[in-house]
Amino acid sequence: MQERQPTPPLFTQVDITAGPLTGAGGAGGGDGENTRLLREILTAQDRQNELLEELVTQLSAAQKQRNQELGQWKAANPNLAQNCRVAAETLSRVQTEFLNTLTDEVNNNAEVLLDGEFMLNEFVDRFGPRLAHLNGVLQVLAQLSGPQPS
């Protein structure tokens, strides 16, 4: 029979007290390495912050330009902008009624929709495109609409 050699323990004790690491269990020159790594991390974070600031500047500049162009369009077409507002308000009421119908349909046919893929597909085909198009048109009209009349 072979004698079993003792296996080293998987876990060792770690000293977490404050102070420099020295001696056999310490890192010796590890303080300098840790400091260097922390400086590299800080440099990388600074660069990342600079990039994020540039990105925000680019996005806000594009948004400001878009808002300015939209404002100019509204000023050049005040009647059309006002008509867009009225149409958006009307379509908003239509959308609310459509959503009432949709939710009633779901609530009244919950079991059938859960059990049958065919019925779910029919429901999505019936309501999905209309809802998506209505939302898109409503969004465009809302963006083009002028200020509310006083």
CA distance 42 to 35: 10
Q: List, as one string, the DSSP characters of 91-105.
A: HHHHHHHHHHHHHHH
**pLDDT value of position 133:** 95
CA distance 125 to 117: 12
* pLDDT, tens digit (0-9, with 9 covering 90-100), for 53-64: 999 999 999 999
Band of residue 4 on the pLDDT scale cut at 50, 70, 90: low
38-50 burial: b if 16+ Cβ within 10 Å, else e: eeeeeeeeeeeee
> What angle, 0 to 180 degrees and rounded to 10, lies between the N-to-C axes of helices 78-108 and 117-144?
160
First to last CA, the chain: 101
Interval 83-95 mean pLDDT: 94
Residue 80 has pLDDT above 70, yes or no: yes
Which of 31 and 11 is assigned the larger pLDDT? 31
* pLDDT, tens digit (0-9, with 9 covering 90-100), for 111-139: 888 888 888 899 999 999 999 999 999 99
Is residue 109 a contact partner of residue 45, using CB atoms and an 8 Å limit? Answer: no
Is residue 130 a contact partner of residue 98, using CB atoms and an 8 Å limit? Answer: yes
Residue 27 has pLDDT above 60, yes or no: no
